[in-house]
Amino acid sequence: MDNAAPFFRRRRTRENASSIAVIGLGRFGGALAIELARSGTEVLGIDTDEDIVQSMNGVLTHVVRADSTKQVALEQLGVLDFDRVVVGIGTDIQASILTTSLLKRMGVRSIWAKAISEQHGLILEQLGIEHVVYPEADMGRRVAHLVRGAMLDYVEFDKDLVVAKTVAPRELEGMTLQQAGVRRRHGVTIVKIKGADGEWRPAGADSVVSAGDLLIVIGPVEQTERFAALL
C-alpha cells in the first residue's frame, strides 16, 4: 500500500451492509464491486494490480493498491470497520488463504470468500469462513439447467429448492391458480405472474393466467423442470 496513514474510520452496522470491502478485483470481485457500488453501497476495492486499480478509480467509492496478505495493510485500510469483507482472490490460492486467515484473526465478523475448487473451499471452511462461494461451479450448474430445459432463468437456493422463470403452459390459460391446482398436480408453487402490461404481480388463488404470461415458480428441481417443460 502506498499510503501508510489510516485510510478512514466509520461506524459499523449490524443490519444491512452499507459498506463492503472487496479484496481482489478480477472478473468476479470486480463485477461484484461494481454492482455493489451501483446499488449505493460504499465499496472499498483492494488489489495488487495497478492497472486494475486505475481502471476502478471513480467507479468504486475507494480503490487502493495493497497487499492483502500483510496485516498492517489491512489495518491501515480500516478493513475492520466495514460491515462485510469479500475475498474475491481466485488465481492465487495461497494469497486467498492467507488473506482470509488474517481477516479471521483480526476479528472481521462477516467474510465472504471465493473458492475455485472443492479443496480450496474446504480449506476456507476449515478456517471458519461461513460464506464460501463457487462462482464457476454455481454458474455451470445454472446454465446446465437452462440449456436442457425450457426455463428462462434459474436460481438454486438449496439442494432441492429452486426458483425459476418460465412461460405459462397452455393448460393454465384462462384458469385461476385454484382451478389449475398447480401445487397439487405438479408439486410447484407459482409466486409471481407477469402479464402483458409488463408488471409482476403476486400470485394468489384467484389469479388468472393468460397466454404468454411469465411465471416465477418455486419447488424441487425435478418438478420445476417438468413444469417448465409443459407446452
Hey, CA dihedral for 113, 118, 120, 126, is it positive or negative? Answer: positive
pLDDT tens-digit map of 60-72: 999 999 999 999 9
Strand partners, 131: 112
33 against 13, higher pLDDT: 33
CB atoms within 10 A of CB 49: 12
Chain centre to alpha carbon of residue 205 = 31
- Pairwise CA distance, residues 85 & 7, whole Å: 16
Q: What are phi and psi of 219, to 5 degrees?
A: 170, -175
Strand partners, 190: 217
Which residue, among 35, 48, 43, has the nearest Cα to 17 in the 3D structure? Answer: 43
Which residue, among 124, 89, 121, has the nearest Cα to 104 in the 3D structure? Answer: 124
Q: pTM, whole model, 2 decimals? A: 0.73
pLDDT tens-digit map of 80-115: 999 999 999 988 999 999 999 999 999 998 999 999
CB atoms within 10 A of CB 215: 24
- Type of residue found at 213: D
Average pLDDT over residues 134-162: 83
Percent of the chain with pLDDT over 90: 77
- Type of residue found at 142: R
